[in-house]
Amino acid sequence: MKKGMLLLILCLMPLIGCATYRNEWRSLTDEAMSLYQKGEYDRAEELAEKALVIADTAVGPEHPDVAESLNTLGLIYHAQGEYAKAEPLYKRALAMAEGAVGPDHPYVASCLNNLAEVYRAQARYTEAEPLYERSLAIKEKTLGPKHPSVATGLNNLATLYCDLAEYTQAESLYERSLAIMVEAFGPDHPEVATCLSNIALICESRGEYDRAEQLYKRSLMINEENLGPEHPNVANSLNNLAELYREQGRYSEAEPLYERSLDIWEKAFGPVNPTFATGLHNLSRLYCDQGKFAQAEPLSMRALEIVEATLGPEHPNTAIVLCGLAEVYRNQDEYAAAEPLYERSLTITEQALGPDHPNVAHILHYFALLYYDQGQYTEAERLFERSMTIVENTLGADHPKMAEYLDSMADLYSNTGREKEAEVLEQRAEATRTATR
C-alpha cells in the first residue's frame, strides 16, 4: 500500500511538473515567435534557446516539443541570414517529426518546407525543389488538393521557379494557388491579395507593366479594405507598386507610395526594424535614380545603420544596403568611397550565400561598373565575365538579367575597339529580352 502510495505520488509529480513545464515552454515559444515577427531577433533568439533547453530537459530530446523549438530557433536564425545555424536545426526537427508522426504527416510537410526555404535562400535550388515537391505532395494527400496549406505550398514552389526565371511554371502554380485561396476564402481575402501580388511580380519581370499594375492595385485595395489603411501588408502592397513605378521611371507616382509605406512600417514596427530599413533603402534608390544624391545618401546610411544593428554586419540584407550606398557614391564619381563598400558587400554575400549565388553576380556587376567608369577596363571585364557566368549557371542563359549584363559587356567592348564582339553581345542581349517578354 505504501509503495502504491509512493508510486502514485511519483506518477503525479511528473504530471504536475509536465503541466508546469508545458505552460512555461509554451509561453516562451509564443513570445519568441511574436518577437520574431516583429523583427526583434536578438531577444527572440534568447527566448527560443531557453525554450529548447527546457523542453530537452523536461521531456527528452526526441519529444515533439523539442522539434517545435528547433523549428522556431531555425526560423530566427534563418531570418538573420545565419543559414549554417538554421539548416542543422531544421534537419534535426525533420528527422524527429518523421520518427514521431511518420513521413506523411502535415507537420513533416512544414519541416520539409522550412528546410527547402533555407536551401532556396542560398540558391541551392536542386536541393530545395524536391523538398518543396515532397512537402506539397504530403499536403495534397493528407489535407486534400484544395486546402489553403496546399495553396501555400504551391506558392513557395512557384517562388523557387521565379528565382530560376521559369516564369511559365511559376505562373501556373501561382494561378492554382490563387484559385484555391479564392474558393476557400472568397475573392477579397488578404491571402488572395498575396497571390495577386506574386502574379504581378511575374508580369513585371516580363515587362507586362499594365497587367502588373492592375494586379498590384487590386492587391492593395483588398488589403486596405480587409486590414485597414495602416496594416503592414498594405505597406507591402504600396512598396511593390512603388517599385513598379520606379522601374518605369514614374518617379513622381512612386515617391508618395514609398513614403506612405515607410510611415506605416515605422508605426507598426518602430524606426529600428529591418523591414523599415528596406523601405529606406528603396526610397534611397528612387532618389539615386533621379540624381538626388543629397537625399539618397542619408536614407541609405540610415538603412545601413538599422540592418547592422538588427540583422548584424554579416547579413545578406546588410550587403544589399551596402551595395546601394556604394551606388550612391559611384554615381557621384566618389569612387574611393564606393570601392570598399562594394568589397565588403561582396565578401558578406559570398560568405553567407556562397560564391555562385545570383546576389554575388548582382554585386559583381555594379562593382565592374565602378572600374568601367574609371577606365579600368581589364578589371571591369573580369568582373563582368564572372557575373555573367554565375547568372548563366544558376538562373540560365535566357534570364532577363543576362540582357542587362550583356549590354554592359558590349559597351566595354565598344570602348576598347572590339566592335564585332560588341555587336555579337548586343544581338544576344536583344534575343534574351525578346525571349522573356
Enter the C-alpha cell of residue 428.
544576344
Residue 421, domain CATH:
1.25.40
Residue 97, domain CATH:
1.25.40.10
**Is residue 54 situated within a structural domain?**
yes
* pLDDT class of 249 with cuts at 50, 70, 90: very high
**Is residue 353 situated within a structural domain?**
no
**Is residue 168 situated within a structural domain?**
no
Residue 148 reports pLDDT greater than 50? yes
pLDDT of residue 18: 62
Enter the C-alpha cell of residue 55.
523542453
Q: What is the mean pLDDT of residues 234-243?
A: 95
Q: What is the mean pLDDT of residues 203-209?
A: 83
How many domains does the chain fold into?
A: 2
In this structure, of 124-128, 139-143, 382-386, the range with the lowest mean pLDDT score is 124-128
Residues 390/358, Cβ–Cβ less than 8 Å: yes
In this structure, of 32-46, 123-137, 251-265, 327-341, the range with the lowest mean pLDDT score is 32-46
Residue 385 reports pLDDT greater than 70? yes
**Is residue 130 situated within a structural domain?**
no
**Is residue 436 situated within a structural domain?**
yes
Mean pLDDT (the chain) is 90
pLDDT of residue 437: 62
Residue 331 reports pLDDT greater than 50? yes
Q: What is the mean pLDDT of residues 90-117?
A: 93
Residue 42 reports pLDDT greater than 90? no
pLDDT of residue 426: 94
Rounded Cα–Cα distance for residues 122 and 405 (Å): 22
pTM passes above 0.75: yes
Strands (E), 332-422: none
Residue 123 reports pLDDT greater than 80? no
| pLDDT tens per residue across span 394-419 | 778 887 788 899 999 999 999 999 99
Residue 266 reports pLDDT greater than 70? yes
In this structure, of 102-106, 352-356, 359-363, the range with the lowest mean pLDDT score is 352-356
**Is residue 399 situated within a structural domain?**
yes
Residue 79 reports pLDDT greater than 90? no
Which SS3 state, helix, strand or coil, does residue 356 take?
coil
Q: What is the DSSP letter of 34?
A: H
Q: What is the mean pLDDT of residues 278-290?
A: 96
* pLDDT class of 214 with cuts at 50, 70, 90: very high
Residue, of 314 and 279, whose pLDDT is higher = 279
Long-range pairs for 289-297: beta carbons < 8 A, 24 or more residues apart: 289/246, 289/249, 289/251, 290/251, 291/331, 293/328, 293/331, 293/332, 296/328, 297/325, 297/328
pLDDT of residue 207: 77
**Is residue 233 situated within a structural domain?**
no
pLDDT of residue 255: 98
Angle between helices 232-247 and 251-269 (to 10 degrees): 160
pLDDT of residue 436: 60
Rounded Cα–Cα distance for residues 235 and 278 (Å): 12
Q: Given 101, 135, 164, which residue is the final one in a domain?
A: 101
* pLDDT class of 363 with cuts at 50, 70, 90: very high
Residue 54 reports pLDDT greater than 60? yes
| pLDDT tens per residue across span 157-202 | 999 988 877 888 999 999 999 999 999 999 999 999 999 999 999 8
Q: Given 77, 101, 125, which residue is the final one in a domain?
A: 101
Q: Given 71, 101, 131, which residue is the final one in a domain?
A: 101
The terminus-to-terminus CA distance of the chain in angstroms comes to: 83
pLDDT of residue 19: 62
Q: What is the mean pLDDT of residues 34-63?
A: 88
Enter the C-alpha cell of residue 167.
516564369
pLDDT of residue 16: 36
pLDDT of residue 2: 32
Place of cell 553581345: 425
**Is residue 11 situated within a structural domain?**
no
Residue, of 278 and 41, whose pLDDT is higher = 278
Q: What is the mean pLDDT of residues 194-223?
A: 92
The domain in which residue 59 lies consists of 24-101
Residue 313 reports pLDDT greater than 80? yes
Residues 173/158, Cβ–Cβ less than 8 Å: yes
Q: List the alpha helices (DSSP H) in 228-357.
A: 232-247, 251-269, 274-289, 293-310, 316-330, 335-353
